[in-house]
Structure 1
Amino acid sequence: MNAILSLTDHHAVIKLIGDFTFEGHRPFKEATQQLLASDGVETLSIDFEAVEYMDSAALGMLLLLRERLGDKPIHLAQTRGTVRAVLDVANFGRLFTLD
């Protein structure tokens, strides 16, 4: 999996490419560390367009990121198929904005 961070004004986007599993923790961690080191970021979107599968480790990574960002809103964008089903079963719609 790849995790590509882009920053514009006060908004950050992490684009995920490939299956979001434990094996992808290193690229996800690198992208989130860059994000946390950036000043002025107020909102974050994580783009799931190129993700077809995620596991429970990915859910844990999202929860840790949410904890580290505090009250900043996180939008999980373009969730569909199996990814959306996993997020729905885990009730992540209560913690993140999903579409």
Structure 2
Amino acid sequence: MDTSVTVSDSAATLRLVGRFDFKAHREFREAVEKLLQQSGARAVKVDMAEVSYLDSSALGMLLMLRDKAKAASRDVSLVGVSGSVRQVLDIANFSKLFSIN
């Protein structure tokens, strides 16, 4: 999986590309740390438009992001979610934990 972080105004975007599974753990964690260190970014958007696969470890990583962002007083939303990725998030009831677009 590839990750990139961009910041504009008061929002930081974490863009994910490829398979979001346990192999992506280290890269995702490093991207989250970078993202949360950005000053002024009050909102965090996780762009999942190009995620082709999502497993249970990815769900755990998203929960870790949510907890760290909450501790830093930041809101997290998942954007660009569709197809099988949306199905996995729906089955896991993530819509109760995140804003999903």
Fold match, TM over 0.5? Answer: yes
Gaps of 5+ in 2: none
TM-score (norm 1): 0.94
Q: Which residue of 2 aligns with 1:11?
A: 11
Gaps of 5+ in 1: none
Identity %: 40
Q: Which residue of 2 aligns with 1:95?
A: 97
Q: How many residues align?
A: 99
Task: Say what the alpha-carbon RMSD is for the aligned residues.
Answer: 1.0
Q: Which has the higher strand share?
A: 2
Deviation at 1:55, TM superposition (A): 0.4
1:30-71 CA deviation, whole Å, 9 max, x = no partner? 111101212221001111111111000000000011001114
Q: Which runs of 4+ in 1 moved over 4 A?
A: none
Q: Indicate which of 53, 75, 78 corresponds to 2:77.
A: 75
Q: Which amino acid aligns with 1:50?
A: E
2:89 and 2:18 mapped to 1: Cα distance?
A: 17
Q: Which residue of 1 aligns with 2:22?
A: 22
TM-score (norm 2): 0.93
CA contact (8 A) 2:16 2:47 kept: yes
